[in-house]
A and B are shown apart, each in its own frame.
Chain A
Amino acid sequence: MKRLLAASAARTPTFVWLGMAGVIVLDTAVQLVWKSVVLRVPDSLPFADALAAVTGQPAFYLLLAIFAAMFLNWVLVLGQADLSYVQPITALSYVSVAGCSALVLGEHIGLLRGAGVALIVLGAWLISRTGHQTTAPPSPLAASDPQAGPST
């Protein structure tokens, strides 16, 4: 266990950083595409018509494709790092969404939002200074046993 913890304290692999960057980029894309889909649906429509208006847009299928890519990327990242390490760091998507909103949509970033962004960045940086993996993988025997199911 000591060797495992020592190894986990080593620097985070590039693969994990790329995966987390992927989560943030895809999450930002989801927010922007979702917003564009919702903006094209009139407020006054009944639920069934609004649903049809949403699913009738090509951007909706782009949204589904991004969700699928997010899931696959997330599973790959989780396979290589602690959940308590990667999940809080993905809060950096709040920063990228705020940045994109300011740059692309011209939205104003006030003092409160700026302070929030700074705290998120500081928190993510602190977490990045901890070991990215502190648990051992399940044994190959458990992985190949169809009756084993998820271990707790």
Chain B
Amino acid sequence: MNERLLGLLLVLAAALAEAFSHVAFKQAADHGRRAEGAVRALWAAVRQHKAVGFGIGCFVVQAACWTGALKFLDVSLAYPLSSLEFIAVVLLARLILKEKVAGRRWIGVGLIVVGTALVAVS
């Protein structure tokens, strides 16, 4: 496998790992939705040890994949590609959390992906 392809795969893996971590934190946070007050909501969320631990683990994997990607790709290519994370998050939120993602929300995400890529390459 050539280095460029490996770097691209690592960028994708980093985006997916970060998206999974957000999904896990969201699952933990949902347990605080019925709680009264911010402190009780936080307490209910952080008690979800499996979800919080999985989320933190995914962040570590994301950092490792990103560091690896930067060894094989120029930052000028890797950084704009990292905006794919926004698509990964919305896809997983739709598939795992069963959130209703309206067409307008998808268009907004598309604009943000293009916008962050432009900011990154400028």
Contact = CB atoms under 8 A, between A and B. Distances in A.
A binds B: yes
Interface string B74-88: 000000000100100
Interface residues of B, number: 53
B115 A78 contact: no
Interface residues of A, number: 48
A88 B25 contact: no
A119 B109 CA distance: 10
Tell me the dominant secondary structure on chain A's binding face: helix
B102 A76 contact: no
Given A78-B26, A78-B29, A120-B111, A115 B94 contact: no
Interface string A129-146: 111001101101011000
Given A5-B100, A72-B42, A150-B24, A84 B111 contact: no
Given A123-B109, A126-B111, A116 B119 contact: yes
- Residue of B26, B86, B94 with most partner-chain A CB within 10 A: B26
Given A131-B102, A138-B31, 12 more contacts: A76-B32, A76-B38, A77-B29, A84-B99, A88-B89, A88-B90, A113-B119, A113-B122, A116-B122, A135-B98, A137-B31, A137-B34
